[in-house]
Amino acid sequence: MPKTLHIVVCAGIVPDPLQTLEPVTTPAGPGLKNEMVLPAVLDPWAASALYEAAALAAKNPGSKVWLVSLGPKAKLQQVMLTIAQRVPFELVPIDGPIGGFPDAHSTAQVLAETIAALPGLDRFRLLLFGGWESATRGAGVTLQLVGERLGITDQFQGVDQITLRDDGSFEVLERVEGGRHQVSICAGAPAVLGWATGNLAEPRNNPQIGMANMRTIMPALQKARPATLAANSLRYVSASLPKQQRTTRVVKDLSPDEIAAELAAWIGAE
Amino acid sequence: MESVLVLTQADETGAALTRASLEAVTAGLALAARLSAPLAIGIVAADATVAANSLASTGAKLLAVSGEAFAQPRYSTDAAACEALCRAAAATIVLAPASSRFNRVAAGVAHRLGGLIDTHITAIARQTLGAPGLASETRETDSLTSAVEATRWFYRQRIEAVLSRDVRPWFLLLDAGTHAAFTGQPAAVQVEGIAVQLSSIRTNVSGLRAPSQGTQTIRPDAKLLFVAGAGWTKKQPDGQTHVAEAGDLILGFLRTTSASLGSSKSLVDQGGEGQSVLPFLTHLNQIGQTGATPRHPKGLSTCCHGEEPHVVGWRFIAERRAISLDPNCGWTRGKADVVYVADAFQVIAKLNALLEDQAQ
């Protein structure tokens, strides 16, 4: 039996993984060189959460997906031009700083306040989605803190699968050590699910979905409320690129037999 | 004055602490010694007796939350347990392993206690700070205030930062493999049991599930990481793909070496795109920008181009070798110790035969 769900996806924007990143010192602490001109994408694990949310909403008519995203308006608009074509959602933008160095607790506070104020959100139908870690800060705490602030005490991290049941309960598969999943049965919403990769392929671009989304995205971006993030006593002593550069031996003239022998000796060596 | 609490958990047997917990104990002992701070160790387990005895030689105050409700990892019960342990210990710095269990709850617990958290910590150091205006060279030991500094990576292991906070309690989750596991002579010890008030439990853990493909290829304790790139499923010199052969070669290698298997995102994604894929690969095998960053002493990359999004998954691999047909691949640019310009199909077939001979 379909259930009406209110799914809120928290997703940040991150530099395209192929970009070279270089830390610089700014008045607000560490940042990235040319951060505002680096091409950005939706955070990969959070993007998985968005696609899973859309798939879940599609299977349960009457459900709704909000995408809450904190970042500079201009960068959000750039990323939304792509993401908006993938799945239907309502964007809730927050105009704030970009990057991995701001404090996660402050980020969580802003997100929680925004979600708590969403018009029409039924907290008893709420599934709070996001990536289990971002590709910037990578702390894996923001979603958990948002859930805690919203009083949600059923939380799952590293989620790869959710299966809804007729009685409103659901089965969750969470990644645990050793390449296995922990299987849990939760009585139902509200719950927090920090997604890993999930099982869905990236949806293809659909211009019709894009046009429908953009009707609400552009006005939402224009009205995005500004947010500043408190440092929360976070002090950076340093931020630097790893210095390790190896002296690579490129072997071009050995036969497969010789390479195999060399590798076997290397593998066997303590 | 600082005080240190280390949160630990029992392993699946329930009779011992996890290795990651024992690593956190080592870190806690070192930090407490550096800060001259009292140390407490909190245990979450169905029955903490045996686990506590293994910590006898630490000399730390031992606290435990026990009971069937704490046998399995679950947010509501684990958060309540950790909150109770932290309140009982009244610690200013809380260390815990970055296990799936503590990763799930530690931030929530920090919030409940009015504290802050930082995760994926790879090193902790004590920095001594003089009073404002004093040159560091002239500082007197007893006039110093101490600050704890933690090292962690940002942007998926691409930028390393050292940070500090003044707010307490400060929770630090330690990445596995960054400290030696604590070992000590077991002895009967006194453990202070901490009572926990649980509200209704809405989540039941029904067990663990291995990947449906049947072959367990992820081995966190393996000495060698074998990484399969998308080249294994591409057309070979005869114009055909040889996916089945690739699968046999890779599984054969894993069987003879007990290596852990990692893969690039592009190879795993092919499954979702309906292409022919290696059937034993799942997203759990994925390493790199959008996957795991495992710690192994050695790593062998095959058919993977070695560009930055892949290599961030190798940040903590000590010795790196790669097999690639491309002499200009990313691995040759200072990212691997040795790059063999060769056909991985041929090399791995020879290597498997050699390793099987050696094993007999």
Contact partners, residue A243, CB within 8 Å, separation at least 6: none
Chain A interface, best mutation among B21, B75, B325, by max A CB count within 10 A: B75
| B111 interfacial to chain A (CB closer than 8 Å) | yes
Does B303 touch chain A if contact means CB atoms closer than 8 Å? Answer: no
| Predicted local distance difference test score (pLDDT) of residue B215 | 66
Q: End-to-end distance of chain B based on CA atoms, in angstroms?
A: 60
The C-alpha of A173 sits at a distance from chain B's nearest C-alpha, in angstroms, of 8
pLDDT of residue A238: 95
Beta-strand runs (E) in A121-230:
126-131, 155-164, 170-176, 180-186, 191-195, 225-226
Q: Is A168 on the interface with B (CB under 8 A)?
A: no
Cβ distance of B339 and A256 shorter than 8 Å: no
Nearest residue on chain B to A248, alpha-carbon basis: B337
User: Are the beta carbons of B95 and B31 closer than 8 angstroms?
Assistant: yes
CATH of region B224-359: 3.40.50.1220
Per-chain mean pLDDT for chain A: 94
Q: CA dist A171 to A95, A159, A163, A196, B9, Å?
A: 35, 11, 5, 16, 24
Tell me the domain boundaries of chain B: 4-193, 224-359
A contact residues 113-142, partner B, Cβ 8 Å cutoff = 135-141
Distance between CA atoms of B104 and B97, rounded to whole angstroms? 11
Residue with tokens 């964007």: A91
Give me the amino acid identity at B86.
C
Tell me what ipTM this predicted complex has: 0.94
User: What pLDDT does B24 receive?
Assistant: 98
Residues of chain A with pLDDT below 50 are none
* Amino acid B184: pLDDT: 95
Contact A177 B99 (CB under 8 A): yes
Using CA atoms, how far residue A191 sits from A148, A175, B315, in Å, is: 10, 17, 34
The pLDDT value given to residue B198: 94
pLDDT tens sequence across A194-225: 999 888 888 999 999 999 999 999 999 999 99
Bond into A190 cis (ω within 30): yes
- For chain B, say whether A146 makes contact (Cβ under 8 Å): no
The fold of the B4-193 domain, in CATH, is Rossmann fold (3.40.50)
- Count chain A–chain B contacts defined by CB atoms under 8 A: 269
Quick one: CA torsion of B263, B268, B270, B271, rounded to 10 degrees?
A: 140
Residue B33, pLDDT score: 96
For residue B97, whether the previous peptide bond is cis, meaning omega lies within 30 degrees of 0, is no
SS3 call for A171: strand
Residue matched to tokens 């904190």: A70
Give the pLDDT confidence score for residue B137 in this predicted structure: 33
* Low pLDDT (below 50) residues in chain B: 130-145
Contact A141 B119 (CB under 8 A): yes
CA–CA distance, B249 with B352 (Å, rounded to integer): 8
